[in-house]
Amino acid sequence: MIYGKLIKSRVILPILRLSYEKLPPDLRQCFAYCSMLPKGLEIPREAFINLWIAQGFVRSASRNRELEDIGNQYFNQLLSRFCFQEVVEAFDGEILACKIHSLVHDLAQSVAGDECLNVKSDTKNISDRVRHLYLHDEDLSEKEAPKTLLKSKNLRSFRCTYKNKPSDKTFIQGIAMKFRRLRVLVLQALDLEELPSSIGGLQQLRYLDLSHSSNLKSLPKSFCKLVNLQTLNLINCENFQDFPGNFRSLVSIKTLYLTCREISLTKKRPQSFNSLQFMLLYNCDFVQLPSEGFQNLNSLRVLRIYDCPRLASLPDNIKYLTALEKLWIWNCEVLDLSEGDGLEGLTSLESLLLMGLPKLINLPLGLTKNVAKTLKFFRIANCANFAMLPVWLLNFNLLQRLYVEDCPNLSFLPQVRSHIAKVHVTGCPKLHMA
């Protein structure tokens, strides 16, 4: 078995390297940076793109093109060259996540050389040329930032995963003092209620991942000094309650992943997020999204609301999200969309997912206006009490894909027009077609 893998490696790696050498320079940088990501784990597509943007690998020759769109183009080009595997595709064709093949990861490490390193904390010799470091270890409980790293003052990325943690406060303070040029910092599962104020010294930071830090409650005032921050990940920070008072000074944030208690949004409201383009609210403990401030989210293109068990309604002010292209709502047990008047203001919506909503009986009438002119992809699934798809759905002239799945009480589906390229209906035993 080992011999077979060795032969396979010797045969395939030269072919992969040849393909790499044909890549444009910007794509080569993006490919080499993949060595910083965990081998064999499923990685969200937007994580690739946001990390590349944070490092300045994605460039636009036109002010009219968003860096995120160019980054998505880079991702698709690498995907077409078989750099990624086990691709997860959504109902609207969007690639949600993928894995990096083991041999591809090995090649990325090879071409990155000393600039991108995956090492353990007891590694004695770390090149002073290292720019991007992935530190992994079983046990760092007795250690501070490894002394071998102290000479790596030009570090741009620091990713650390470990099971037994040291004093997280001391660890972060050491990082903030030594690595002032960091653009990417990934420190998951921290055992802290608040970050140390020294985090404000990382003023070049573009990407910060603090996910799975279940005790984290707040961010220090100094956090507002991170004026270049573009991506903030607070997923599975169940006790998070509060953004700093001057959070609106963080004018560069475009991507926000958030798990929180009710106070964090109702107190500060989303008025600070004027440049926000992507927001994922996951397992948030609030009854209602804040109505104030939605009019300021005029750049928001993607809104995903997952597993919010107490969310009862959407605010009418959702109508101000005129740039919103994707609205995905999943597993919100008490969410009632029967009013849904605010949905009529969504003038750019192309992709709509309604899944795991037991209170949904009929589609909200708010969809009959502007959404009818723009919607291309619609999926409704696992809605136990959903009764019928309305006839007015036939007026959605741009609709390309329609998925209806596992709605046991669905009894009526209008005759689908020929312009809909794909219709998928399953798990609807009471259904009668018009």
- Per-residue confidence band for 267, with pLDDT thresholds at 50, 70 and 90: low
Residue 9's pLDDT band (cuts 50, 70, 90): low
* pLDDT tens digits, one per residue of 12-22: 778 888 889 99
Tokens of residue 49, six digits? 């793109």
Helix H or strand E encompassing 84: strand 84-89
Alpha-carbon torsion 63, 66, 71, 73, what sign?
Answer: negative
Q: What is the pLDDT of residue 242?
A: 77
With H, G, I as helix, E, B as strand and everything else as coil, classify residue 108: helix
Q: CATH says 17-106 is which class?
A: mainly alpha
SS3 category, 176: helix
Alpha carbon distances (Å) from 93 to 253, 399, 415, 421: 26, 14, 24, 13
In this prediction, residue 18 carries a pLDDT of 86
Question: Phi/psi at 45 (nearest 5 deg)?
Answer: -55, -45
CB count in 10 Å sphere of residue 59 = 9
Mean pLDDT, rounded, for 244-272: 76
**CB-side exposure of 31: number of CA atoms within 13 Å?**
29
Cα–Cα distance for residue pair 410/38, rounded to 1 Å: 43
Average pLDDT along the chain? 87
How far is residue 43 CA from its own chain's centroid?
A: 9
Q: Are 223 and 198 spatial neighbours (Cβ–Cβ below 8 Å)?
A: no
pLDDT in tens, 133-191: 988 765 555 555 556 666 677 899 999 876 545 567 888 888 888 899 999 999 988 88
pLDDT at 13: 76
Return the structure tokens found at 274. Answer: 């004027």
**H helix or E strand, kind and range, residue 166:** none
Q: Could you give the CA distance from residue 41 to residue 101 in angstroms, rounded to a whole number?
A: 10
- Higher pLDDT, residue 162 or 83: 83
Q: Is the pLDDT of residue 220 over 70?
A: yes
For 171, residues 6+ apart whose C-beta sits below 8 A from its C-beta are: 140, 144, 145, 165, 187
CA–CA gap between residue 359 and residue 18 (Å, rounded): 55
State whether the Cα torsion 27-251-153-173 is positive or negative: negative
- The span from the first CA to the last CA of the chain, in angstroms, equals 58
**For range 250-256, the mean pLDDT:** 93
What would the pLDDT profile of 347-393 be if each residue is shown by its tens digit?
999 999 999 999 999 999 999 989 999 999 999 999 999 999 999 98
Reading the block at residue 164, the tokens are 């037994």
Residue 265 has pLDDT above 60, yes or no: no
Percent of the chain with pLDDT over 70: 88
- Cα–Cα distance for residue pair 431/434, rounded to 1 Å: 10
Question: What mean pLDDT is predicted for residues 332-357?
Answer: 93
**What pLDDT sits at residue 58?**
96
- On whether the CB atoms of residues 308 and 336 are closer than 8 A, the answer is no
Tokens 């206006």 appear where? 369
- Among 24-33, 132-141, 338-347, 411-420, the range with the most confident prediction by mean pLDDT is 24-33
Enter the CATH code of domain 120-286. Answer: 3.80.10.10
Q: How confident is the model at residue 294 (pLDDT cuts 50, 70, 90)?
A: confident
- Which of 142, 141, 137 is closest to 122 using CA atoms? 137
Give domain limits for the chain. 17-106, 120-286
User: Cα dihedral sign for 419, 404, 94, 229?
Assistant: positive
